[in-house]
Structure 1
Amino acid sequence: MRLITTTLLATAVTLCAGAAFAQGIDDPTREPYYSAFEGKRVAYIPVAMGFDLTEGWAAGLKEALEPLGMTIDIRDPNWSTDAGAQAITSLISEKPDVIVVHNPDVQSYARLLRRAEEAGIYVVQVNMRSSYSTDAFIGADYVGMGQRIGERLVEVCSPANGGSGKVAITQGVLTAAASVYQMQGIQNVLSQHDDIQIVSNQAADWDGTKAKNIAATVIQQHPDLCAITGFWDVMDVGTAAAIKESGKDVYLLTQGGGNQMACDGLANGTYSEVVVYHVPGQARDMATMIKHLIQQGQPAGTTKTTLFTPLDFVTKDNMTPASCWSLPGLN
């Protein structure tokens, strides 16, 4: 009789529990998750708006964070370092929860970013870092990228592989992280290859017209030039134009955020190869890091996190429909 009673009781408990689960139970983590973000403010300072990288990051941040009740405040310095510094100074007084910054060079914003963290503001840097490390950096490993580019220049241009050994480099702004760190990586490789000669190493300041003029002069001085590596695909539209006008077969290895323009350029022969650091992925990583910082609630500047973006070396032969992305109204 006791066995029957126990069995019936266990069955009843199971049925009650089953009924409760059938009706569903609330996730205890939802409320604190959503309430952590409601009303939070993110200020975004690019080098300028109006091109694929900065527009793509802005779109990604908005898509990920605005549905959570957060606001994105864009301060566009329009290529003016002074205007960017003024924007950061104002924001330190305004005290947003997070500042996302795209540094024009390694030094200009360094002290201001430290002041922002000291004021209790989380600081996330994207793709071009400052000499001062903040709560987070999301972007390319430019030293590593430079090393891989150096290896590609050896593969393409070494006399042992049929090349002339002559290569040219077109940097952006000399003091930008994308230039100084990348040059270190390139030098790490080419310093070990006496058969590769850098016949030109100049800065075009991210300007396509300057890049075109530099390339035209170098090709005229070195008709047997094997390759040019440029540090931004938008700038290197000018480099490509100079190569086309020269009628020479010069390998153009460039880099960028993987906007559809890059794949179109590979398809039509504007570029020979593009190193892609995917902007949508960077935007997702920034948003994830912002959500992590806000939920953890530690004082700004407590931790220093680096998330390097995976790199894809894309050519006409290996690109796929997923190699590039599009932002409506940008292309």
Structure 2
Amino acid sequence: MNRRTTALLTVAATFMAAAGCTVNGGGTSSGARGGAGDGKQTFGRTVQLFDAHQKTHDAMKGKRIAFVPILYKGYNLTLNWGSTMERAFGNLGADFRVYDANFDTDKMVKIINDLVSRRAVDVLILHNPDVGVLTKQIEAAEKAGIHTIVVNMVSSRLGDAFIGVDSVHAAEDITRRAVQDCAGRGGPKRMAVIDGPGNDGASLQWSRGVHNVLDPAGYEVVTTAHTQWQNSLAQQAASSIVQQRKDGICGFLVAYDLNAIAVGDAVADAVERGVVRPGAIGVYTMAADAQWCDALRAGKVTASAAYDVQGVGAAAVVTAQQLVQSGAPAGSNHTVAYVSHTVVDRTNADTTTIACYRGR
């Protein structure tokens, strides 16, 4: 499937032991000390076998790592990353903390501003809500000597590293599947798109990938609904689209899996009410957590471009170690790296390691 992977972080370690993680909504302990970029590299060209172990632990011991997602509690995606980070950073002796913004952008900005102004962290791992909202925060972190790693939704201000799925490529792959299914059942060449806020990296890249496939194939996107990642809004939008499009659509292309479940519920309801025929509308998405796989087995969703969610968390840990070990100043290097993805459906979801993931 991965015909043109742009970059790949290979994560070889399985992190075994659990460590203390504090989930907070605001600031934490005081104390301002220098950032991770002290100009001294941890390793040279050669290393002694046991020195590698000791130097790695010494470099990370006491380093303060903050993870600030858009939502944490009850959200499998970010819980998966956070639990992976918690285990790994705990093994290394780092101080890892999660700050739950609870889908409140203003709260997220305040949390980051506080951490940066106090120089209370060495590495920030951020899950930004749109492409521009954290630009000033990432710039301020760099000036304060704090490394920044952005996960899953790319920012216009890159920071030291971005790690996530190749949303454009994943959208292209799942849209090809939707077109194939539609042609197979003789459906109308019309699709509807449901995404998040619409101005975030994930939604914008999703839309680009969808149109890259649908437009040359002569398909029409009848509407694009922005639902802020809210399941209730996604379900309402899908119900409205099905009801209003009397000429029919062949599928929904939904930017993320949990919203796709809600869309699948709307389609199932329309089938029950006789508004559409069973199997006439497919529901396609990106990512495949355990709840999505349950909906797949129930026949409410069709297929997904599942991606290595746990790999994002593990890659963030690896990247943080590399940034600390390099000794390079924050913001002196910028990279984009993608994890793997593949299309899954009822035939292969249960046997694909990156599908049906859980929060911990």
Q: TM-score range by the shorter chain?
A: 0.7 to 0.9
Q: 1:255 aligns with which of 265, 280, 286?
A: 286
Deviations 1:32-74 (A, max 9, x none): 1211111001011100112011111110100111111101121
Q: 1:107 aligns with which of 128, 132, 142?
A: 132
Aligned partner letter, 1:151:
R
Alpha carbons of structure 1 residues 290 and 26: separation in structure 2 relative to 1, 3 Å: closer
Identity across matched positions, percent: 28
Aligned partner letter, 1:263:
C
Displacement of 1:189 in angstroms is: 2.2
Displacement of 1:94 in angstroms is: 2.5
- Report what 1:327 is aligned to: 359
- The separation in 2 between residues aligned to 1:162 and 1:26, in whole angstroms, is 62
- The separation in 1 between residues aligned to 2:269 and 2:49, in whole angstroms, is 66
Secondary structure at the counterpart of residue 29 of structure 1:
helix
Displacement of 1:106 in angstroms is: 0.4
- Report what 1:58 is aligned to: 82
Q: 2:256 aligns with which of 216, 221, 232?
A: 232
- Report what 1:201 is aligned to: 224
- Report what 1:7 is aligned to: none
Displacement of 1:89 in angstroms is: 0.7
Q: 1:210 aligns with which of 214, 230, 233?
A: 233
Given the alignment of the two structures, is residue 313 of structure 1 paired with residue 343 of structure 2, yes or no? yes
- Report what 1:97 is aligned to: 122
- Report what 1:286 is aligned to: 316
Q: 1:142 aligns with which of 154, 167, 170?
A: 167
Instruction: Report if the CA contact (8 A) 1:259-1:326 is conserved.
Output: yes
- The separation in 2 between residues aligned to 1:325 and 1:108, in whole angstroms, is 29
Deviations 1:238-274 (A, max 9, x none): 2111101111331000222x32222222111121112
**How large is the Cα RMSD of the aligned pairs?**
1.7
- Report what 1:277 is aligned to: 307
- Report what 2:43 is aligned to: none
- Report what 2:40 is aligned to: none
- The separation in 1 between residues aligned to 2:291 and 2:89, in whole angstroms, is 27
Alpha carbons of structure 1 residues 185 and 327: separation in structure 2 relative to 1, 3 Å: closer
Question: Bigger CA drift: 100-109 or 230-239?
Answer: 230-239
- The separation in 2 between residues aligned to 1:198 and 1:149, in whole angstroms, is 15
Deviations 1:209-264 (A, max 9, x none): 111111111111224321001111112222111101111331000222x3222222
Q: Output aligned runs, 1:49-198, within 5 Å.
A: 49-50=72-73, 51-95=75-119, 96-158=121-183, 162-194=186-218, 196-198=219-221
Displacement of 1:205 in angstroms is: 1.1
Alpha carbons of structure 1 residues 26 and 276: separation in structure 2 relative to 1, 3 Å: closer
What is the TM-score with the length of structure 1 in the denominator? 0.86
Displacement of 1:149 in angstroms is: 3.1
Higher helix share: 1
Displacement of 1:91 in angstroms is: 1.1
Secondary structure at the counterpart of residue 28 of structure 1:
helix
- The separation in 2 between residues aligned to 1:97 and 1:164, in whole angstroms, is 53
- The separation in 1 between residues aligned to 2:144 and 2:319, in whole angstroms, is 19
Displacement of 1:156 in angstroms is: 2.2
Higher relative contact order (CA 8 A, sep 6+): 2
- The separation in 1 between residues aligned to 2:171 and 2:346, in whole angstroms, is 21
Secondary structure at the counterpart of residue 359 of structure 2:
coil
Instruction: Report if the CA contact (8 A) 1:157-1:167 is conserved.
Output: no
Deviations 1:87-145 (A, max 9, x none): 11111123211000000000110121011012110100000111111111110111222
- The separation in 2 between residues aligned to 1:83 and 1:193, in whole angstroms, is 43
Q: Return 5+ residue gaps in structure 1 as ranges.
A: 1-24
Instruction: Report if the CA contact (8 A) 1:47-1:80 is conserved.
Output: yes
Secondary structure at the counterpart of residue 261 of structure 2:
helix
- The separation in 1 between residues aligned to 2:181 and 2:196, in whole angstroms, is 23
Given the alignment of the two structures, is residue 29 of structure 1 paired with residue 59 of structure 2, yes or no? no
